Amino acid sequence: MNLNKYKRRYPSIEAKTWKWVLSFILSIGSFFLVSLIFELLGSKNEILIALLISALCLVALWVVDRQFILKIFLPLKMKDILYILLGLGFSFVAVILASIAMAQMGIQGSANPIFDILNDDNIKRFIVSTMIQFIAEEIIFIIPFLFVINKLRTRNEKLKTLVAILVSSLIFGAMHLTTYNFNILQAVLVISIIRTGLTMSYVLSKNLTVTYLVHMIYDWALIWIYLTAGQMA
């Protein structure tokens, strides 16, 4: 398959640095603000929470560029299927590497708390809510990634991409500190490695729709494996 005929480029987004920063703060803040409001209200409507978080994250993109959403979430083409498969491959390789890193460094990790609350009654709501929330999570990734791509002053595209991967992956990992009981090594190192695997689908395709689908399939596959293993134990 000749991939040279299917070259996309990272979107060019001319915006002042303060707009990028504000956008990132709004997107990060949406997770904590919405979660806090629903906690105070005593509500656990996962679908509505995910809708509000993702909506606010989409607004955050508009702060940088009114066409931002259209520049990153592109329509799928046939060859995007290949990038989805490659992205899944990179993601599962990243899981293996993360597991090796944990073993070699003696990192005592904790399981994602979602595994403790999933059951037959809420699995459908969980699937719907994650389909929505993954939009927000990909926005959290793409803002720092494209900030580096558009702001780093070098013509070395490979260097730009490497720095963008490192910065966005570390930030994404740090976002999971509360999920893993502030285990810094697990969140910042292990989750960052896994995020790097997911990110490769965007590096290859330049289409966040592809990365969104890879993220969704990857997470659901791991949860299915975990639940299946639990039933067999």
> pLDDT (tens digit, 9 = 90+) per residue, 26-74?
999 999 899 899 989 888 888 999 999 999 999 999 999 999 999 999 9
- pLDDT tens for 118-144 read 666 777 888 899 999 999 999 999 999
- pLDDT tens for 159-202 read 999 999 999 999 998 888 777 777 777 778 888 999 999 999 99
User: What are the residue ranges spanned by the domains of the chain?
Assistant: 75-232
Assess contact for 86 and 213: CB atoms under 8 A: no
More confident position, 155 or 200? 200
Structure tokens at 183: 């285990």
pLDDT of amino acid 165? 97
Which of these, 87, 68, 93, lies nearest to 12 by C-alpha position?
Answer: 68
Structure tokens at 54: 């993702």
pLDDT of amino acid 124? 82
Please tell me the pTM assigned to this model: 0.89
Assess contact for 65 and 157: CB atoms under 8 A: no
What's 75's DSSP letter? Answer: P
- Cα gap 133→31, rounded to integer Å: 10
- Residue that is written with structure tokens 């580096």 in the block: 148
Torsion 182-22-54-191 (CA) sign: negative
Assess contact for 31 and 53: CB atoms under 8 A: yes
